[in-house]
Structure 1
Amino acid sequence: MSDQLVMIIDGMPHTGWKEASIARSIERGPHNFSLQLSEIWNTEKQVNRRAIEQGMSLQAYLNDDLFMSGYINELAPSYDANNHTISIRGSSRLGDLVDCSTTGKAFAGQSLLQISQSLCAPFGITVHVDASAKKAANQIFNKSKRLDLGEPIWEFLEELARVRAVLLTSNANGDLIITRAGTGYADVALALGQNIKTASGNFSGRELFSQYTVSGQQSNEPSVKLESVDTVLPIATVNGSGRYRPFAVAADDDMDVAGCKTRAEWQRNVNQGRSESVVYTVTGWRQTPDGRIWAPNERVIVSDPYQGLLNAERLIVETRLMLNERGRNTELRVMPKNAFDLIPEVESAASEGFIR
């Protein structure tokens, strides 16, 4: 059965979209969409004008499969004597948390889950916790947390999530998901000569260094260095083997040597992971005919010798479902999983009140 993109806008189904782009990413909480609809109309009678307004709710379906719920943020109608075009932009329901701020609120003796639930409830957003993040999401913060007057709600929640080393994402219903980098796999691999339609790699050495130095707050044994070697940082050869490129950072938190070493290892691994990004385009929006829609936060096996990937495991960071003159396609941005291996931030006195 051919896939049809159906948008339920304010309870009414709309089809026949000329262009569509729907992006879902683990680096951004809300999903984002842009749509364009063109139709022949009569300027005198204004027939066939669709009743679509800014602020209306929107659910995106692929046939009967819901994959996004949100609101229309921008509406741009245009027309001439014969044609009427509607361009729409919006985001999933978490977009309200990004845009909105409040008069402030203090939270004492609560966990990330409890704080999230309290802040999401007025927006009608439910909070879910994946098994991988359950312990971290339910851990009580040592000291009270304060959402300041005028501070964006999403910015506040992201700070708390960094302390607990978890990710905040959205599901198809627009609810908040507290999770970590996915452990599940896509149903199919990405293979050159099979389902890979186009590819665009970005392998950058600007954030790769020959040594990483992390300094803690303690006066005794303040730092630790990690010397990179080819077996640890093979991509360091992009800018020349043995090239001297030091990197140093002073940690905001009290750390011993073991803590400095963990932070330095984490910095090295994350920088390496984020230096290897590839965007693949595949035909269609589903992994297999009548199968699941491509989704972020799943692992996938990639066989693409042009990008130096031979049965390599990658994490799907972002998916973009597209409809345009080239048909129905999906863009998949993939990175090594260690780009999203998070470590908890130490709860220091300064960070408890989020002094800036």
Structure 2
Amino acid sequence: MPDIALYVNGLKWLGWQEATVTRSIDAVFNQYTLRLTSTWPGAPGAGIPPVKKGDECSLALEGETVVTGFLNNVRLKVTADGFDLTVDGRDKTALLFKGAVLNTPAEWSGKTALQIAQEICEPFGITVRALSSVGAVFKKFTCQPGETANRAIQRLCGHRALFHYADPAGNLILANADAATPAARGLALGFDGKTNVESVTFDDGLDGQYSDYVVYNQKPGLSFGGNPHNKVLGRAKDHTVRQYCPKVVIANEPGDTTAARDLAVQTAALAAARALALSYETPDWRPVPGGKLWSINTTTPVTDDITGVKKTMLIKKAVFHVSEEVAETSTLTVVDPKSYALIAEPEDNVGGWS
């Protein structure tokens, strides 16, 4: 078994017999599950790690910290022969999904998305940094009563074509599609023996795709149906969708036909990029021996003779697993980098739900 260390209350706990660690851009926060089963080393009750829900802790795989936060759940089964302990941990940013924004006032003017996110996260003990430009300052941004911190940050990012996710220290990162860095190794699955993965799972769905994308112009305060200026300005077609299923996009700002067509094409391209996800299982936790663990928001060249994908892809999710029965593996979910080339939402909704 590799070195799996849980640091809780100043103590280091080893000997875990099964571990699953998940890092994901879409989920935002990192999480893990550890399991320890043992017969009583002495008197019944001895040898059980004294961990409790809410304990602040960090988890390291072979010396590299992957999750910093708290124990979210502790499950313990005790018998006459021994015990079975399972702990679930999450990083600090998971609190943003539960906790509401209580800043007073919860309204900002003349500040960037980064500055507002920093103020929202400060009470949670979470710092925020940006890997890319965060765009212009907001004229006004307001949180609604009871709105969770993550929902507010999600809206912030939406207005600046950004996404957010946690780092191994449990702090928050804001980024755009240009912020990804290259991984130390590519992924290969070929008929010529040049293979460094054990399996691939192909997931290609139509749920988010449409056959036609139609952009309309709508001017604020006027009836959509009765105004002669509310007309079709741009179209795009996704030829991979064979069933007729159109999507209407309302342009929030007036524009010419070229701008409208660009918006239609960009919306279609984003949906198409998100449709396909590939998950590769590799027999290691690191791209190269002695290097760092596989990381999310990194790009890797994929050469796959099975699916036909031969291009640079973005790692959006990494799952590390090991048990006494199964050696360590990484399952890397990769997507087209264009999946995170987001379209900025207009600022006319910064004070309410969208």
Please report the TM-score for the alignment, with normalisation by the length of structure 1. Answer: 0.88
C-alpha contact (below 8 Å) 2:22/2:317 kept by paired residues: yes
Within 5 Å, give how 1:174-253 maps onto structure 2. Answer: 174-181=170-177, 182-192=179-189, 193=193, 194-218=195-219, 220=229, 222-228=231-237, 236=240, 240=242, 243-251=243-251, 253=252
Q: Tell me which residue corresponds to 1:49.
A: 48
Look up the equivalent residue of 2:351 and give its one-letter code: G
Deviations 1:203-239 (A, max 9, x none): 22343333211223135364334343xxxx56x1xx6
Name the SS for the 2:306 alignment partner.
helix
Cα shift at 1:88? 1.2
Q: Tell me which residue corresponds to 2:153.
A: 157
Identity fraction in percent? 23
Look up the equivalent residue of 1:10 and give its one-letter code: N
Look up the equivalent residue of 1:169 and give its one-letter code: Y
Q: Tell me which residue corresponds to 2:121.
A: 120
Sort the Cα spacing of 1:323 and 1:255 in 2 relative to 1 into closer, same or farther, 3 A. farther
Name the SS for the 2:6 alignment partner.
strand
Look up the equivalent residue of 1:314 and give its one-letter code: M
Name the SS for the 1:156 alignment partner.
helix
C-alpha distance in 2, partners of 1:168/1:199?
Answer: 27
C-alpha contact (below 8 Å) 1:43/1:81 kept by paired residues: no
C-alpha distance in 2, partners of 1:329/1:184?
Answer: 22
Query: After the TM superposition, which of the residue ranges 78-87 and 294-303 deviates more from structure 2?
Result: 78-87
Please report the TM-score for the alignment, with normalisation by the length of structure 2. Answer: 0.89
Which ranges in structure 2 are unaligned for 5 or more consecutive residues?
220-227
Within 5 Å, give how 1:257-272 maps onto structure 2. Answer: 257=256, 258-272=258-272
Cα shift at 1:259? 4.3
Q: Tell me which residue corresponds to 1:289.
A: 289
Cα shift at 1:355? 4.6
Q: Tell me which residue corresponds to 1:87.
A: 86
Within 5 Å, give how 1:134-153 maps onto structure 2. Answer: 134-136=133-135, 139-142=136-139, 144-153=140-149
C-alpha contact (below 8 Å) 2:101/2:120 kept by paired residues: no
Q: Tell me which residue corresponds to 1:330.
A: 330
C-alpha distance in 1, partners of 2:297/2:117?
Answer: 21
Cα shift at 1:314? 0.8
Q: What RMSD over aligned residues (CA atoms) do the two structures have, in Å?
A: 2.1
Name the SS for the 2:86 alignment partner.
strand
Query: After the TM superposition, which of the residue ranges 76-85 and 260-269 deviates more from structure 2?
Result: 260-269
C-alpha distance in 2, partners of 1:97/1:205?
Answer: 31
Which ranges in structure 1 are unaligned for 5 or more consecutive residues?
none
Name the SS for the 2:100 alignment partner.
coil
C-alpha distance in 2, partners of 1:92/1:126?
Answer: 13
Name the SS for the 1:270 alignment partner.
helix
